[in-house]
Amino acid sequence: MSPATALPPRTVEEILTRAGRADFDRWAEQVIHCGHCARPVRLRGRVEHRTPAGERVSYSTDDEPDRVLLIRCGNRRAAVCPSCSHEYAGDMWQLLYAGAAGGRKGVPESIRSHPLLFATLTAPGFGPVHTTRADRSGGPACCRPVRGSTPRLCAHGQPTWCTAIHAEDDPRLGQPICPDCYDYPAHVTFNWHAPELWRRFTIALRRALARAAELSAAEFARRCRVSFVKVAEFQRRGVVHFHALIRLDGPGEFQPPQLGIDAAGLAEAIHQAAAQVRLTVEMPGGPGLVLRFGTQLDTQTVNGGPAGELTPEHAARYIAKYATKSADDFGLGEQRITPETLALLDVPDHVHRLVHTAWQLGDHPSYEGLRRWVHMLGFRGHFASKSRRYSTTLGAIRGERRAYRQRQAAEHARELLPAEPDTTLVITRWEFAGVGYLTNGDAALALSAAARAREQRQAAREAA
Ligand SMILES: [Zn+2]
Ligand SMILES: [Zn+2]
Ligand SMILES: [Zn+2]
């Protein structure tokens, strides 16, 4: 925390109280142990050793500061907990990198020879929005040039052009040029059905590949498996698009595909499949709507190939970064929206219209359940998901890390506790005591400790 930050007197008082306590060092140790988590879970509990000679408590949070143990919240979202989201992105990177480069986490190095692509599937347009553009030489260009010789106003008397060159942090980016022209129901409906569109894409992709290989669906399935990992990302305009690593495997564990399709052939099939996917959905009081992906589809080959192509490291980092973002960025938080909070939302007009459109759509029988996902602008899918055999699982990676921490904790405990050679049974009892730091002063202390730890790591890296 910078000395210039003015803290409320109450918070200063809480900091002084904490720092003056006899058990402050142990409290600070716990904050480090939970990785400076922004809102740790507080647990109360004990570890009992039952031996033939009787029962003995070997650890109890009764002896800890505030009688609790702090553990990580584990939240994926950077807006909720920078520390845990950083850890999540690291785990995600391990998973992605293993599947792209092999030679780790049980994935053989030969995986590098499989066709592997990084693909981005976007949403179509729902009306013109403010955007950044580049001119032919790559320099910044104006948002939306005037078309034709006489500038035309839209039906609402608004300009259909924007001659501004928007800076990266311009709040207008992603906002419609005319909100009344913008198709909000179609936008929300796309978010709501995006998981089904993705599912249909994976089916269409298998069909396109089978066609290219001139195989029946059954024969294709015997020779090739499409493995993927995908993440959903919210674009500035509040619509989801998907980034995915898509790889061709053969039958069995991480075997090469048994068909003559290379990365270029896979790219071709991805383009075909994405262009074909259609989903007709009901709209309240109107004709059905046909949903499809946008025409902006990007595929890049990962591994090998000519210089300038994506390395597995880059592809993994790119996707892992998106996995920690969410609709939090729109100022909606992670709580479900209720009729009470709906009226109080303090968000930009565009988000406000999206939220209200989603709320209204949720009243329609074919959009049952949508109201529970209004805070996600209608997106109910998983932010990150993968096919079963892409690589290892996040659970496995976390298990490894948990085992490591338990060993660390056990070592730590051995210094504190007497040896228990004849322990026959260890019983742990934990109960949930709450979430977050007890006071704003504690949170401020944890935040400044986190900043100090980051600086120290940075200095150590620079010295190395
Ligand atoms: Zn956390
Ligand atoms: Zn503009
Ligand atoms: Zn208009």
Name which of 101, 76, 87 is nearest 391 in CA terms: 101
So what's the pLDDT on residue 156?
93
So what's the pLDDT on residue 5?
60
Neighbours of ion ligand 2 (CB under 5 A): 130, 143, 162, 164
Tell how far the Cα of 110 is from the centroid of ligand 1, in angstroms.
Answer: 36
Task: State the helix-helix crossing angle for 312-322 and 82-101, rounded to 10 degrees.
Answer: 150
Neighbours of ion ligand 3 (CB under 5 A): 154, 156, 158, 178, 180-181
Ligand nearest to the CA of 87: 1
Tell how far the Cα of 156 is from the centroid of ligand 3, in angstroms.
Answer: 4
Q: How many Å is the maximal CA-CA distance in the chain?
A: 95
Tell how far the Cα of 159 is from the centroid of ligand 3, in angstroms.
Answer: 8
So what's the pLDDT on residue 415?
45
Tell how far the Cα of 178 is from the centroid of ligand 2, in angstroms.
Answer: 11
Does this model's pTM top 0.85? My answer is no
Ligand nearest to the CA of 145: 2
Tell how far the Cα of 290 is from the centroid of ligand 3, in angstroms.
Answer: 22
So what's the pLDDT on residue 404?
57
Ligand nearest to the CA of 182: 3
Tell how far the Cα of 171 is from the centroid of ligand 3, in angstroms.
Answer: 20
Could you report the average pLDDT of every consecutive run of 10 residues in the chain (464 residues)? 69 94 94 90 80 75 91 80 85 84 86 91 95 86 85 88 90 93 96 95 96 95 92 90 93 89 95 96 89 92 67 83 70 77 84 93 92 91 77 72 56 46 59 89 92 86 81
So what's the pLDDT on residue 27?
95
Ligand nearest to the CA of 129: 2
Ligand nearest to the CA of 40: 1
Tell how far the Cα of 2 is from the centroid of ligand 1, in angstroms.
Answer: 22
So what's the pLDDT on residue 162?
92
Tell how far the Cα of 144 is from the centroid of ligand 2, in angstroms.
Answer: 6
Tell how far the Cα of 373 is from the centroid of ligand 2, in angstroms.
Answer: 29
Ligand nearest to the CA of 173: 2
